[in-house]
C-alpha cells in the first residue's frame, strides 16, 4: 500500500464527512448541461464516499462506481442502493470495468491525485458509447497531508482527445468549494462523436460502386461492424480518424462467416463466392482451411482453445488470411 492509499484508509470517515458536506449540484455546476439523466449509463471513477454515484442514481441513471480504496468503497456501498454496482478497480488497467463489456453515456473522473496517462485515456475512450461524454476534473494545488499529486494540464488532455477522436466541448474553471485558497479546479468535457450517419454514405458508396469480383469487401464490412458492436474495448489505438484492432480478432470473425458459406454441400462444394467458377478464394489453402472442415463456425468463438494438430492448422489459416 503506497502513501496515498494508506492516507485514504486511515482517514476514510473524516474524508467522507468532508465530501458529503457539499452536494453534487454545487460541486459539479461547471458541467451542468451534461449531467446524466434517466436511462444513461454512468461510470464514476474514483467514486469515493458515493456522494456523486448516489445523486446520479437518483436521477435515473445506471451507475457503475469504481473505487480502489477498500475503506471508502465500503462506505460508498453503505449509502447507495444495491443497484449501484461498486468495483474494486483503478486506472490505467480498469480490468474489472472492461470485463463488464459495457459502454457508457457519461464517464466522470476527478483527478485528485491520479492523472490520466496516455494508456488510461485510451481505456476511457474505448468505454464511451457513441455521443458519450468524458468529464475530467483537474485539481490544481499541492497537498499538505502527505498525499502525492501528479499534475496534468488541459493542453495535455486536448492532445489526448485529438489522438483518440474525441471533441473537447467545454473547459471551465472554478474555485475550491472548501475555500482552500491554494486550490482551484478545471473541468474538461469531451465527447465521442457518433459518426454512424455520416459513415453510412461511405459504406453505401463502397457496396454499390466498388468493383467486386468476390464477396471480400462485404464480408470485411460485416466483420468490422460485428467487432465494433461486440468488442468496443478491442481498439488498440485511435489516431487521425483511424483505429487499430487485432488482426487475429478480425480473422476469427472472418472464418466464422465463411465457414457457414463454404462448408455447405451444394453439388459437392459450398456456395460460390467468386464470379469465376474456376477460381477459389485466396485464403482457402489445403494446409489451412482444407484441414479445418471437421470444425464448425461456432468452434472459432473468442476464447476457443485449440489442441494438437488443430493449433498448427489454425495458425496456418490465420497466416494465409493475414497475407491475403
* Cβ atoms within 10 Å, residue 74: 13
Whether the Cβ atoms of residue 138 and residue 187 lie closer than 8 Å to each other? yes
E strands, the chain, are 41-45, 62-66, 85-87, 104-111, 128-140, 167-175, 184-191, 237-239, 242-244
Q: Where in the chain is the domain with CATH 3.40.50.150?
A: 3-191
Q: CA-based Rg of the chain, rounded to a whole angstrom?
A: 25
With 0-12 CB in 10 A as exposed, 13-18 as middle and 19+ as buried, what is 216? Answer: middle
Among candidate residues 90, 99, 125, the one with its CA nearest the CA of residue 235: 125
Tell me the HSE value of 277 on the side-chain side, using a 13 A CA sphere.
4
| Second CATH level (architecture) for the domain 3-191 | 3-Layer(aba) Sandwich (3.40)
User: Which is it for strands 237-239 and 242-244: parallel, antiparallel or unpaired?
Assistant: antiparallel
Separation between Cα atoms, residue 215 and residue 219, nearest integer Å: 6
Each residue's pLDDT tens digit in the chain (324 positions)?
666 777 777 878 988 898 888 899 989 999 999 999 999 999 999 999 999 999 999 999 999 999 999 999 999 999 999 999 999 998 888 999 998 989 999 999 987 656 677 888 989 998 999 889 999 999 876 666 666 666 678 899 999 998 888 999 999 987 776 666 667 789 999 998 875 544 444 454 455 455 544 456 677 787 888 888 778 778 888 776 778 888 888 888 887 877 777 766 555 555 444 555 555 566 677 776 667 777 787 887 777 787 777 777 777 767 766 666
Angstrom distance (rounded) from CA 54 to CA 84: 8
CA distance 69 to 295: 47
Amino acid at each position: 500500500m503506497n502513501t496515498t492509499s494508506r492516507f485514504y484508509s486511515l482517514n476514510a470517515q473524516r474524508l467522507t464527512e468532508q465530501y458529503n458536506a457539499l452536494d453534487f449540484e454545487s460541486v459539479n455546476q461547471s458541467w451542468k448541461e451534461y449531467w446524466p439523466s434517466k436511462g444513461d449509463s454512468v461510470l464514476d471513477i474514483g467514486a469515493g464516499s458515493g456522494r456523486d454515484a448516489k445523486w446520479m442514481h437518483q436521477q435515473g441513471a445506471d451507475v457503475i462506481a469504481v473505487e480502489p480504496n477498500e475503506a471508502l468503497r465500503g462506505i460508498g456501498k453503505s449509502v447507495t442502493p444495491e443497484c449501484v454496482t461498486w468495483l474494486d478497480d483503478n486506472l490505467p488497467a480498469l480490468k474489472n470495468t472492461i470485463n463488464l463489456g459495457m459502454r457508457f453515456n457519461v464517464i466522470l473522473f476527478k483527478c485528485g491525485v491520479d492523472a490520466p496517462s496516455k494508456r488510461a485515456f485510451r481505456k476511457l475512450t474505448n468505454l464511451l458509447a457513441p455521443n458519450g461524454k468524458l468529464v475530467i476534473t483537474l485539481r490544481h494545488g499541492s497537498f499538505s497531508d502527505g498525499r502525492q499529486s501528479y499534475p496534468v494540464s488541459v493542453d495535455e488532455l486536448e492532445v489526448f482527445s485529438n489522438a483518440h477522436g474525441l471533441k473537447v466541448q467545454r473547459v471551465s474553471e472554478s474555485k475550491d468549494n472548501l475555500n482552500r485558497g491554494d486550490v482551484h479546479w478545471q473541468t474538461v468535457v469531451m465527447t465521442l462523436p457518433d459518426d454512424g450517419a455520416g459513415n453510412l454514405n461511405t459504406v453505401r458508396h463502397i457496396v454499390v460502386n466498388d468493383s467486386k469480383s468476390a464477396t471480400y469487401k462485404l464480408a470485411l464490412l460485416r466483420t468490422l461492424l460485428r467487432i465494433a458492436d461486440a468488442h468496443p474495448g478491442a481498439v488498440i489505438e485511435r489516431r487521425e480518424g483511424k483505429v487499430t484492432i487485432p488482426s487475429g480478432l478480425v480473422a476469427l470473425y472472418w472464418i466464422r462467416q465463411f465457414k457457414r458459406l463454404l462448408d455447405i454441400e451444394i453439388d459437392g462444394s459450398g456456395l460460390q463466392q467468386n464470379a469465376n467458377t474456376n477460381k477459389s478464394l485466396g485464403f482457402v489453402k489445403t494446409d489451412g482451411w482444407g484441414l479445418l472442415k471437421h470444425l464448425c463456425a461456432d468452434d472459432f468463438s473468442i476464447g476457443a482453445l485449440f489442441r494438437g494438430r488443430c493449433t498448427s492448422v489454425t495458425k496456418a489459416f490465420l497466416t494465409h488470411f493475414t497475407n491475403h
